[in-house]
Chains A and B, each alone.
Chain A
């Protein structure tokens, strides 16, 4: 298997590449992105490229890539402007699809990381979304619109290009030490803001399971759409209890957006997608991905409990740097220099980590290897 990972600098891209590196079936891993990766990688080759489809297509053809994993989708509207998110989510996806198409393209599989924001959160939602359901109303926020548009483009591609197996995994809200999302920010506050009179149902997925699902989809060659969400649903008040933080129903049921914009001024940005979730909640039916053979490592409750450990460790790591910086020359030397012995390439190398860095603290939280 020769894999191309798009969005290598995102948390998911980097983690997935690191996961696939350990797999002997994976012959080559090539990561593309605008920015260098943020995690130390052993044999993944990084190519800096914007998502111009002609360049990606040349890389795909030159390296005879047969599996493309697209982890680039932006689902958090607070990290970037709506315009750039649209550029990345919709136009970027089209470019990737264009790079995978063509009659003599070597690509046989495409795996896309999508989001449960595809379903939205509305009043007349079912309690558990299955993969065949669509949202009952048109999307309300720009991010949701982008995700729906990108997914539609992917479905069209799946119909048109029969030789490519397309797999879309829609993930619930992730929790974990390495993630920065509106949810991890809000759940990290001393008191958790809620909408007065609402106690939504929440389903999370641990970051290890997100990587696990994507790796599983890559290895097992899944086709179709899958929901990636951990077992079990919690009420938000229960999540507060598990985290040991008091719920603070400070958002009024009417004029919620106005109140949220005041909070944003005070430094706490809650995007509209999350407000809808704080009001109505959302549950996903994960039976299909479990039937395909994936075993979740954590339930929703365990993911929340693990997240609590992260929160307790956070003050100690607040001032630590990321610990890793991509050094182009070093990486190129290690991979291509004739002076580097072949045996050294396969052995685990010392990484250029500063002691006490964030990466080390997070490594301590990683589950023991037998957990998988």
Chain B
């Protein structure tokens, strides 16, 4: 177990069995632009987020492991909620998830030169209904841009197609959510549907060329929001582009 609570054994076991099966056979992941993920140094990966129990994070991690010339571990960020919920709290850190605290992200990116994956949409992305599929939600408060700028690492936007159909959310059962204390309890297929996954890594956005450290560029709200909106727009455009070229939800 590493200092972050990541366990090679649990992660390896899950990777060899379930993730491997999902990646190759179930979702038949197709990866484009993997060379946009840097081989060394920290980088912040930003992706769209969907599916009631989102499979996109583990598929992106697996894609980097399988396709990248220098496979690197990827740290996923999770809602603090999961740290406080029994079961999730035990399992998720073991497979490389860390609570999405700015200090954690900064330490990983800047001091440990790791890859970190964030979903700026957060729960708003996963709880959106099927009719809203592939329409990006608000990108938080731009905290991810701030984190990348402070650590002076590039941001790699990612567009994932397929996760919306893998586990569409049809409705919300608010009563059940209240009863179990979960953030949401969706009406959704209990197993993933075999949608075809396409993961496209986009050109990295540099964050270290916004002038000197004083005054700190990440304190400039307008700049942070602009970059955040730009990245969101790019992912949205790529998503529509990929869907436009897709013949079938199930076969790509």
User: How far is A281 from B98 in the complex, measured between Cα atoms in Å?
Assistant: 13
Whether, in the assembled complex, B157 has its beta carbon less than 8 Å from a beta carbon of chain A, the answer is no
**Cross-chain contact B86 with A127 (CB below 8 angstroms):** no
* Known A125-B101, A234-B1; contact A197-B107, beta-carbon cutoff 8 A: no
User: How far is A120 from B107 in the complex, measured between Cα atoms in Å?
Assistant: 20
Residues of A within 8 A of B174 (CB): none
Whether, in the assembled complex, A199 has its beta carbon less than 8 Å from a beta carbon of chain B, the answer is yes
**Cross-chain contact B80 with A126 (CB below 8 angstroms):** no
**Cross-chain contact A238 with B1 (CB below 8 angstroms):** yes
User: How far is A197 from B104 in the complex, measured between Cα atoms in Å?
Assistant: 23
Residues of B within 8 A of A285 (CB): 107
Residues of A within 8 A of B107 (CB): 126-128, 285
B151 to chain A, nearest CB (A): 15
Residues of B within 8 A of A90 (CB): none
User: How far is A125 from B102 in the complex, measured between Cα atoms in Å?
Assistant: 10
**Cross-chain contact A127 with B90 (CB below 8 angstroms):** no
A143 to chain B, nearest CB (A): 22
Whether, in the assembled complex, A232 has its beta carbon less than 8 Å from a beta carbon of chain B, the answer is yes
* Known A233-B5, A235-B1, A235-B5; contact A126-B104, beta-carbon cutoff 8 A: yes
User: How far is A196 from B103 in the complex, measured between Cα atoms in Å?
Assistant: 28
Chain A residue with minimal CB distance to B108? A127
From A126, A238, A281, name the one whose CB has the most chain B CB atoms within 10 angstroms. A126
User: How far is A197 from B180 in the complex, measured between Cα atoms in Å?
Assistant: 14
B153 to chain A, nearest CB (A): 18
Whether, in the assembled complex, B84 has its beta carbon less than 8 Å from a beta carbon of chain A, the answer is yes
**Cross-chain contact A127 with B89 (CB below 8 angstroms):** no
Whether, in the assembled complex, B133 has its beta carbon less than 8 Å from a beta carbon of chain A, the answer is no
* Known A124-B80, A126-B104, A133-B103; contact A197-B87, beta-carbon cutoff 8 A: yes
Residues of B within 8 A of A182 (CB): none
**Cross-chain contact A198 with B3 (CB below 8 angstroms):** no
Q: Mark B66-91, 1 if CB is under 8 A from A, else 0.
A: 00000000000000110111111110
Whether, in the assembled complex, A170 has its beta carbon less than 8 Å from a beta carbon of chain B, the answer is no
A6 to chain B, nearest CB (A): 34
Interface residues of B in 105-156 (CB under 8 A from A): 107
User: How far is A98 from B86 in the complex, measured between Cα atoms in Å?
Assistant: 47
Interface residues of A in 11-66 (CB under 8 A from B): none
Whether, in the assembled complex, A88 has its beta carbon less than 8 Å from a beta carbon of chain B, the answer is no
**Cross-chain contact B1 with A127 (CB below 8 angstroms):** no
Whether, in the assembled complex, B55 has its beta carbon less than 8 Å from a beta carbon of chain A, the answer is no
* Known A195-B86, A280-B84; contact A128-B103, beta-carbon cutoff 8 A: yes
**Cross-chain contact A201 with B5 (CB below 8 angstroms):** yes
Q: Mark B185-209, 1 if CB is under 8 A from A, else 0.
A: 0000000000000000000000000
User: How far is A130 from B106 in the complex, measured between Cα atoms in Å?
Assistant: 12
**Cross-chain contact B90 with A283 (CB below 8 angstroms):** no
Q: Mark A114-158, 1 if CB is under 8 A from B, else 0.
A: 000000000111111010010000000000000000000000000
**Cross-chain contact B101 with A123 (CB below 8 angstroms):** no
B237 to chain A, nearest CB (A): 34
Residues of A within 8 A of B94 (CB): 199, 235
Chain A residue with minimal CB distance to B90? A199
Residues of A within 8 A of B7 (CB): 235
**Cross-chain contact A233 with B89 (CB below 8 angstroms):** no
**Cross-chain contact A123 with B83 (CB below 8 angstroms):** yes
**Cross-chain contact A253 with B86 (CB below 8 angstroms):** yes
A311 to chain B, nearest CB (A): 22
User: How far is A197 from B89 in the complex, measured between Cα atoms in Å?
Assistant: 7
Whether, in the assembled complex, B99 has its beta carbon less than 8 Å from a beta carbon of chain A, the answer is yes
User: How far is A210 from B234 in the complex, measured between Cα atoms in Å?
Assistant: 52
**Cross-chain contact A126 with B103 (CB below 8 angstroms):** yes
Residues of B within 8 A of A279 (CB): 84, 89
**CB within 8 Å of B: which residues of A?**
123-128, 130, 133, 195-199, 201, 232-235, 238, 253, 279-281, 283, 285
A-B contact pairs, 22 of them (CB 8 A): A126-B101, A126-B103, A126-B104, A127-B3, A127-B98, A127-B103, A195-B86, A196-B86, A197-B85, A197-B90, A198-B89, A199-B5, A199-B89, A199-B94, A233-B1, A233-B5, A235-B7, A235-B93, A238-B1, A279-B89, A280-B89, A283-B3
Apart from A197-B88, A201-B4, A285-B107: 4 A-B pairs, beta carbons within 8 A = A125-B99, A125-B101, A127-B103, A279-B84
**CB within 8 Å of A: which residues of B?**
1-5, 7, 80-81, 83-90, 93-94, 98-99, 101-104, 107
